[in-house]
Chains A and B, each alone.
Chain A
Amino acid sequence: MAKIEITDLCKDFTTVQGTKTVHAVKHASLTVDDGQVVVIIGPSGSGKSTLLRSVNKLEEPTSGSIRIDGVEVTDPKTDLRRIREDVGMVFQSFNLFPHLSVLDNVTLAPRKVRGMGRKEAEELGMQLLTRVGLADKADSRPAQLSGGQQQRVAIARALAMKPKAMLFDEPTSALDPEMIKEVLDVMMMLAKEGMTMLLVTHEMGFARAAADKIVFMDSGEIIETGTPEEIFGNPKSERTRSFLNHIL
Chain B
Amino acid sequence: MKDDNRIEEELKVESIRRKVVSVDSAALAAQTPKTITMTDGPLIPKKGEKHVLSSWRLTFIGAVVLLLALIIFKPEPYRQIFIVCIQGAPVTFEVTICAIIGAVVIGTFTGLGSVSSHRWINMISGVYVELIRGIPLLVQLIFIYYALGRFLHMEGMMAAIIALSICFGAYMGEIVRAGIQAIPKGQSEAATALGMTRTQTFIHVILPQTVKVVLPAIGNEFISMLKDSSLVSQLALADILRKGREYISRTFLSLETMLVVALIYLIFTLVLSRLVGMLEERLHKNG
Task: List A residues at the B interface (Cβ < 8 Å).
Answer: 56, 58, 81-82, 84-89, 91, 93, 95-99, 108-109, 112-113, 141, 143-144, 154, 157-158, 161
9 closest Cβ pairs, A-B complex: A85-B195, A95-B190, A109-B194, A95-B186, A89-B193, A84-B195, A113-B195, A99-B208, A81-B195
Q: Which of B23-31, B115-123, B196-204 makes up part of the contact surface?
A: B196-204
Q: Mark B172-213, 1 if CB is under 8 A from A, else 0.
A: 000000000000101101111111110010001100110010
Contact in complex: A97, B190 (CB < 8 Å)? yes
Contact in complex: B193, A97 (CB < 8 Å)? no
Contact in complex: B187, A109 (CB < 8 Å)? no
- Which one of A87, A98, A112 contacts B200 once the chains associate, using CB atoms below 8 Å? A112
Contact in complex: A98, B189 (CB < 8 Å)? no
The verdict on B287 contacting chain A, using a C-beta distance below 8 Å, is yes
Interface size bucket, B side?
20 to 34
The verdict on B1 contacting chain A, using a C-beta distance below 8 Å, is yes
**Chain B residues whose CB sits within 8 angstroms of the CB of A157 once the complex forms:** 194
Contact in complex: B1, A99 (CB < 8 Å)? no
Contact in complex: A81, B197 (CB < 8 Å)? yes
Compute the total of residue contacts between A and B using a CB distance below 8 Å. Answer: 64
**Chain B residues whose CB sits within 8 angstroms of the CB of A56 once the complex forms:** 193
Which residue on A lies nearest to B205, using beta carbons?
A: A97
Q: How far is the CB of A66 from chain B (nearest CB, A)?
A: 15
Task: List B residues at the A interface (Cβ < 8 Å).
Answer: 1, 184, 186-187, 189-197, 200, 204-205, 208-209, 212, 287
Give complex CA distance A7, B192 in Å.
24
Q: How far is the CB of B173 from chain A (nearest CB, A)?
A: 23
**Chain A residues whose CB sits within 8 angstroms of the CB of B192 once the complex forms:** 58, 84
**Chain B residues whose CB sits within 8 angstroms of the CB of A108 once the complex forms:** 194, 204
**Chain B residues whose CB sits within 8 angstroms of the CB of A97 once the complex forms:** 187, 190-191, 205, 209
Q: With A95-B189, A143-B287 known to touch, is A84 a contact of B194 (CB < 8 Å)?
A: yes
- Which one of A85, A91, A93, A99 contacts B209 once the chains associate, using CB atoms below 8 Å? A99
**Chain A residues whose CB sits within 8 angstroms of the CB of B197 once the complex forms:** 81
Given A58-B189, A58-B193, A112-B200, 16 new contacts (CB under 8 A): A56-B193, A84-B194, A88-B193, A89-B190, A89-B193, A91-B189, A91-B190, A93-B186, A97-B187, A97-B190, A97-B205, A99-B208, A109-B194, A158-B193, A158-B194, A161-B195
Contact in complex: A112, B196 (CB < 8 Å)? yes
Give complex CA distance A59, B186 in Å.
13
Give complex CA distance A96, B196 in Å.
14
Chain A to chain B contacts (Cβ below 8 Å), 22 pairs: A56-B193, A58-B192, A58-B193, A84-B192, A84-B194, A84-B195, A86-B195, A88-B193, A91-B189, A96-B190, A97-B191, A97-B205, A98-B209, A99-B212, A108-B194, A112-B200, A112-B204, A113-B196, A113-B200, A141-B287, A157-B194, A161-B194
